[in-house]
Amino acid sequence: MRILIAAAGSRGDVAPYTGLGAELRRAGYDVALATNETFAPLVRAAGLEFRSLPAGTRTSGGVTDRRELMRTAAAFVTELGRGFADAVAGGTDLLLLSTTTAPLGWHLAEATGTPSLGVYLQPTAPTGDFPAVVTGSRSLGRLANRAGGRFALRMADRVYAQAVLDLRQRLQLPPATASATRRRRDGAGWPVLHGFSTALVPRPADWRTGLEVVGNWWPHSDAAQRLPQDLEDFLRAGPRPVLVGFGSMAGGDGERLSAIAVRALRRAGLRGILQAGSAGLVADDDDVLTVG
């Protein structure tokens, strides 16, 4: 069986799928990972076939205006949609779609008859248990949380609207909106596996059948590769530390977040490692190490 994993975004949106792909390959499947050219070395280092997707790396961490964020996201997915069909055409028996690629991949699955399922790194289905993760808001109660989750999905539909119209026209499919396609998939019980731990986010009891939380997909790593010497020395110098990082998020807010992280670690009596990330976290503290 030929499995194609399609993922797009920043490094954190892609790297976990190298570990998932490597495990599938070890189980005897032919696995390709379609993503941006930037991550081709990660894909090939995991022993997977690389297929190129046209969208550049998503770097919206410094964008704070909501309208500008929507425009940036829409431009990203429109670019992504233009080359998605070419990646699938390389031969695919099963299509695994990430959060960012699923709203486009559904139409390719429809056009080609290729079975598909979701492999998400974030919970996107509305639930009363917590607010929509993309809003960053606090819980407002079960009814409001669910309403906020539905609103977040409608906003995502708007982001994908033009890309979906263009892609369906190219695939010679009858017109269908992004929102109608999503509702049809949900109504059919389209399966989604979520690659995070229930210790972090327990599976909501009000989720529909077919939405499962299956545990972390760790990025592929070479067992022979060594950590930088300063990190090895720090790990040996005391109790196990806590890692603090925000990946590609929180750009330009590093000074404030660094101070909060160090203050929290001190209050908890813990050693820490700050991963600089796009926020530029940094600390000058004997019990806190900053890494790239």
Q: What is the pLDDT of residue 289?
A: 96
Do both 52 and 134 map to the same domain?
Answer: yes
Do both 61 and 165 map to the same domain?
Answer: yes
What are the pLDDT tens digits along the chain (292 aa)? Answer: 999 999 998 888 999 999 999 999 999 999 999 999 999 999 999 999 999 988 665 544 455 566 777 777 777 787 787 778 888 877 889 999 999 999 999 999 999 999 999 999 999 999 999 999 887 778 889 999 999 999 999 999 988 988 899 889 988 999 999 899 999 999 999 999 999 999 989 999 999 999 999 999 999 998 888 899 999 999 999 999 999 998 877 777 889 999 999 999 999 999 999 999 888 999 988 899 999 8
Q: What is the pLDDT of residue 67?
A: 72
Q: What is the pLDDT of residue 214?
A: 97
Among the candidates 213, 242, 270, a domain finishes at 213
Do both 195 and 265 map to the same domain?
Answer: no
Alpha-carbon torsion 106, 42, 71, 245, what sign?
A: positive
Distances (CA, A) of 75 to 56, 62, 78: 10, 16, 5
Do both 56 and 189 map to the same domain?
Answer: yes
Domain count, the chain: 2
Do both 48 and 189 map to the same domain?
Answer: yes
Q: Give the side-chain half-sphere CA count within 13 A for 132.
A: 18
Q: Does a structural domain hold residue 219? A: no
Do both 70 and 133 map to the same domain?
Answer: yes
The domain that holds 56 is classified in CATH as 3.40.50.2000
Q: What is the pLDDT of residue 135?
A: 79
Do both 249 and 207 map to the same domain?
Answer: no
Do both 133 and 276 map to the same domain?
Answer: no
Q: Length of the chain in residues, anyone? A: 292
Do both 143 and 245 map to the same domain?
Answer: no
Among the candidates 186, 213, 240, a domain finishes at 213
**202/184 Cα distance (integer angstroms):** 26
Do both 238 and 141 map to the same domain?
Answer: no
Range of the domain at 110: 2-213
